[in-house]
Amino acid sequence: MKLEHTSVLLNRCITVLSTSLENKETPVLVDATLGLGGHSLALLEKFPKLKIIGIDRDKSAIDKASQRLSSHLDRITIFHAVYDQTPKLLDSLGISSVDGILFDLGTSSMQLDQSERGFSYAQSAPLDMRMDQSSGITAQEVIDSYSRGELIRIIRTYGEEKFAQRIVDNIIEARGDNSIKSTSDLADLIKRSIPAPARRLGGNPAKRTFQALRIEVNQELAILERAIPACLERLNIGGRMVVMSFQSLEDKIVKNFFTQATESKTPLGLPVEIKALSAKFSLVFNGSQKASEDEISDNSRAKSVRLRAIQRVAA
Ligand SMILES: C[S@@+](CC[C@H](N)C(=O)[O-])C[C@H]1O[C@@H](n2cnc3c(N)ncnc32)[C@H](O)[C@@H]1O
């Protein structure tokens, strides 16, 4: 089993963040999704004075990253935490604001490859799916205890699954006799629930439901919605935030916050811009960037990435 992770758009992230790091005497960056430390390692190597605060909710990622970054531990402080806690963690270090913040969202390849964690429909494993295995409810508990309505809502909304109702009706029937006990039981049930012609389209039929359960178990969207505005407030003038999303619901949240942050609050129709109400942020580039063909052929995870970046321009 390989327990690795090839960092997505590594050079592009470094280039976008460089502007806010290179002219500072001791720049500070938050790596909100440390993972196996690939982005942090490259940044620490490129900027010899850079200090990083690295955060991950997965203890096994923290352990691996700490080993990988062992020769830089004087310049990185690592927290086992959820990234919406970033302001509190910065306060605990006496840091009021930072020059860069990086979010590389979603799961790492290591988490997908650790089959016993239940993220993957490709191998049979307990239905866990928690990024932090020390707290929270598992996918098994979601399947066993949520109402029919809640399950339909989750699978339809977070999985964008057209056949959510059929899948959930089969879940309700199967859970009556305790017959969903593993990722493969669930993947088989999903496959049976989707009409044959639709099964042939859009990849593995379990993909959308597994994504929905993972989002629910880890409360991914609610946490992202709290984290982005709270972290934007902690950027220095000239500081940049880079976010890489891997599915449309996350990207929509990021896009909406970035749009709000870059809009003037001066009421429409006033002849002059009120300085105190002008936007404190500007987009580094319009819209989102995708990976190039070369980047995708180097790393298939890059296929769905959408990279957005924003810079603080006023206090
Ligand atoms: C795609 S990986 C990051 C990979 C990393 N950039 C690298 O190059 O090695 C995403 C990581 O974010 C972590 N993560 C996801 N949601 C999180 C959250 N809300 N708080 C803290 N960490 C989170 C996951 O546990 C995972 O290790």
Burial class (CB in 10 A: 0-12, 13-18, 19+), 199: middle
User: What is the maximum alpha-carbon separation in the chain?
Assistant: 68
User: What is the pLDDT confidence band of residue 3, given thresholds at 50, 70 and 90?
Assistant: low
Domain with CATH 1.10.150.170 in the chain: 115-218
**C-alpha to C-alpha distance for 277 and 286, rounded to whole angstroms:** 22
C-alpha closest to that of 130 among 188, 57, 31: 57
Task: Give pLDDT, residue 200.
Answer: 83
Task: Give pLDDT, residue 1.
Answer: 46
Q: Rounded to whole angstroms, what are the CA distances from 63 to 44, 66, 201?
A: 18, 5, 39
pLDDT tens for 206-215 read 999 999 999 9
55 CA to centre of ligand 1 in angstroms: 8
Q: Could you identify the atom of ligand 1 that is nearest to the CA of residue 219?
A: 19
Q: Quick one: average pLDDT of 142-156?
A: 98
Q: Is the pLDDT of residue 8 over 50?
A: yes
Q: Quick one: average pLDDT of 231-242?
A: 98
142 CA to centre of ligand 1 in angstroms: 22
Q: Quick one: average pLDDT of 36-46?
A: 98
CATH of domain 115-218: 1.10.150.170
At residue 264, the 3 state secondary structure works out as coil
pLDDT tens for 276-293 read 899 999 999 999 999 999
Task: Give pLDDT, residue 91.
Answer: 98
Task: Give pLDDT, residue 287.
Answer: 97
Domain with CATH 3.40.50.150 in the chain: 10-110+222-312
Does 311 belong to an annotated binding site? no
Q: Is the pLDDT of residue 203 over 70?
A: yes
58 lines ligand 1 (CB under 6 A): yes
Task: Give pLDDT, residue 137.
Answer: 97
54 lines ligand 1 (CB under 6 A): no
Two structure tokens written together for 48: 């010899």
Closest residue by CA, ligand 1 atom 15: 106
Mean pLDDT rounded to a whole number for the chain: 96
pTM exceeds 0.85 for this model: yes
240 lines ligand 1 (CB under 6 A): no
Which contiguous run of DSSP H or E holds residue 257? helix 248-261
Q: Quick one: average pLDDT of 221-231?
A: 98
277 CA to centre of ligand 1 in angstroms: 34
Closest residue by CA, ligand 1 atom 4: 35
pLDDT tens for 68-107 read 999 999 999 999 999 999 999 999 999 999 999 999 999 9
CATH T-level fold of 10-110+222-312: Rossmann fold (3.40.50)
Please write down the HEC assignment for all residues of 144-208: HHCCHHHHHHHHHHHHCCCCHHHHHHHHHHHHHCCCCCCHHHHHHHHHHHCCHHHHCCCCCCCHH
114 lines ligand 1 (CB under 6 A): no
% of the chain at pLDDT higher than 70: 99
Q: Quick one: average pLDDT of 294-314?
A: 95
Q: β-strands 98-104, 28-31: how paired?
A: parallel
